[in-house]
Amino acid sequence: MKKVLVLGSGAREVAIARSVSQSSIKNAIFCISKDINPQINDLCEDYLVCDVNDVASIVSYAKEKEIDLVIVGPENPLASGVVNALEKTGVGCVGPKKEVAMIETSKAFARMIIDLCCPEKNPQRKEFVSIAGVKNFMETLGGEYVVKFDGLMGGKGVRISGEHLKNLNEGLDYANEIIKDGGRFLVEEKLVGEEFSLMSFVDGKTCKHMPIVQDHKRAFEGDVGPNTGGMGTYSYGNHSLPFLKKEDVLEAQKTNELVAKQLLKHTGSPYVGVLYGGFMLTKDGIKVIEYNARFGDPEAMNVLSILKSDFLSVCISMVEGRLDKESVLFDKLATVCKYVVPVGYPNNPAKGFEVFCDQDDPSLFLASVMLKDKKLIACGSRTAAVVGKNKDIWKAEAFAEKGVSNISGKLFHRKDIGTEDLIGFRVKRMKGLLG
């Protein structure tokens, strides 16, 4: 009997808990998070309502319940050192130690690691803690730049010239805002191309790669509006994307392998967990946009919905360092995941309103909600995700739309994600860029 503790309570953690519950290895699921997710609760033996960054409470709960394995959903507990503390007490974790998770928690650290193992994957960039030299560097980049807060901002700390930043002054204003709060930031060359996510299971030595997924970070249809945690994702039955060649996929896989190896060399700690490479195919080849030290959200819903192998067995192999012996297979199906989010999300989201849906629907993944007087109440972040899967991506998209239409509340979603129009447009735009 494996006692598995899941940290976090979003849609990604619903996907994780469901996958564990479907394992052929006998298991009991426990969860810690600040709100009770009713879908995770249904799968759980016990649920502790607690801050996922409260390391001492997590460790004592794990001891009390004799937990065998902890799966860390979000990034913040990694940064708080929860894995370091749990491993000291002998509990295996799917998730890297704090010093290794810096690949996500510090954008400057990530760029440095990439410089050491695959420098050609980095854009031009410079780090700053003051305004000195910022304007000059923005001008050197021809006014085409990105300002990135160097820390965790839930995907919302990045602003792009010509989009969020209309002119150099707005770029400098954002830089000054970060400096005022005592923060560090990077100014990077603005890359142009198509983004994609490649996640790999890693046991410190071996990487087993997942299907490639494309996320949609912008809040509104047509890829406009502020950056969000991710509004939806799709993947193809061949586990690649229509604008990628076989060599591109292999190159992204190689990059994750090199980064995992470099992290071990640099920190002395093996990378154990899911390594998420955020890439962009540009006219100058594949570049790294960012690294995450966990499953992507929504990407987890795409890949776990089609994982053929036993997820708990894969997790145990990661922790025990024998992933090379594990076959990690996915169904050859396309997936489309769409998030419904509160009106006003991400800047000024509605909250406290009732959400109506069928909680028992296996294609529904509840996220930022809580139960109050038996009613489902939205808490303000992404509310729920729906996943469609099918051999035919357009059917998967139609299924996801139908699922979304069964959810009601003060919500909106991006109808364009996974549609023939949007994917066709992207493929054409990429062809144009590559010439």
- In the complex, the residues that contact ligand AMP under the rule CB under 6 A are 123, 146, 148, 155, 158, 160, 188, 190-191, 195, 217, 227, 278, 289-290
Distance (Å, whole) CA 403 – CA 398: 9
CB 375 within 8 A of CB 354: yes
CB 71 within 8 A of CB 47: no
Q: Which does 191 bind (CB under 5 to 8 A by kind): ligand GLY, ligand AMP, none?
A: ligand AMP
Query: Which of 208, 287 has the CB closer to ligand AMP?
Result: 287
Distance (Å, whole) CA 127 – CA 119: 16
Site for ligand GLY in 315-374 (CB under 6 A): none
Query: Which of 215, 251 has the CB closer to ligand GLY?
Result: 215
At position 115, the amino acid (one-letter code) is D
Measured from the CB of residue 163, what is the shortest distance to ligand AMP in angstroms? Answer: 9
CB atoms within 10 A of CB 329: 11
Measured from the CB of residue 300, what is the shortest distance to ligand GLY in angstroms? Answer: 8
Query: Which of 123, 388 has the CB closer to ligand AMP?
Result: 123
Q: With CB under 6 A as the contact rule, which of the stretches 88-96, 186-194, 263-271, 296-304 interacts with ligand GLY?
A: 296-304
Measured from the CB of residue 131, what is the shortest distance to ligand AMP in angstroms? Answer: 20
* Residue closest to 355 by CA, chosen among 381, 376, 373: 376
User: Which residues have CB under 8 Å from 343's CB, separation 6+?
Assistant: 349, 350, 410, 411, 412
Query: Which of 158, 281 has the CB closer to ligand AMP?
Result: 158
Q: Which does 296 bind (CB under 5 to 8 A by kind): ligand GLY, ligand AMP, none?
A: ligand GLY
Measured from the CB of residue 13, what is the shortest distance to ligand GLY in angstroms? Answer: 12
Measured from the CB of residue 140, what is the shortest distance to ligand AMP in angstroms? Answer: 15
Q: State residue 140 phi and psi, 5-degree precision.
A: -60, -35
Choose, by CB under 6 A, the member of 195, 203, 251, 297 that binds ligand GLY: 297
Measured from the CB of residue 278, what is the shortest distance to ligand GLY in angstroms? Answer: 7
CB atoms within 10 A of CB 169: 10
User: Which residues have CB under 8 Å from 145's CB, separation 6+?
Assistant: 137, 138, 161, 171, 187, 188, 189, 190
Measured from the CB of residue 389, what is the shortest distance to ligand AMP in angstroms? Answer: 24
Q: With CB under 6 A as the contact rule, which of the stretches 112-120, 167-175, 289-297, 393-401 interacts with ligand GLY?
A: 289-297
Q: State residue 66 phi and psi, 5-degree precision.
A: 55, 50
Q: Which does 230 bind (CB under 5 to 8 A by kind): ligand GLY, ligand AMP, none?
A: ligand GLY
Query: Which of 37, 228 has the CB closer to ligand GLY?
Result: 228
Measured from the CB of residue 11, what is the shortest distance to ligand AMP in angstroms? Answer: 19
CA distances to 16, 72, 275 from 91, rounded to whole Å, are 18, 12, 20
Q: State residue 272 phi and psi, 5-degree precision.
A: -120, 120
Tokens of 193: 């191309």
**Residue 346: is the preceding peptide bond cis (ω within 30°)?**
yes
Distance (Å, whole) CA 357 – CA 299: 22
Measured from the CB of residue 105, what is the shortest distance to ligand AMP in angstroms? Answer: 12
Q: How many residues bind ligand GLY (CB under 6 A)?
A: 7
Choose, by CB under 6 A, the member of 211, 230, 232, 380 that binds ligand GLY: 230
Q: Is 342 helix (H, G, I), strand (E, B) or coil?
A: strand
Choose, by CB under 6 A, the member of 10, 73, 155, 418 that binds ligand GLY: 155
Query: Which of 290, 397 has the CB closer to ligand AMP?
Result: 290
- Which positions touch ligand GLY (CB under 6 A)? 155, 215, 230, 292, 296-297, 299
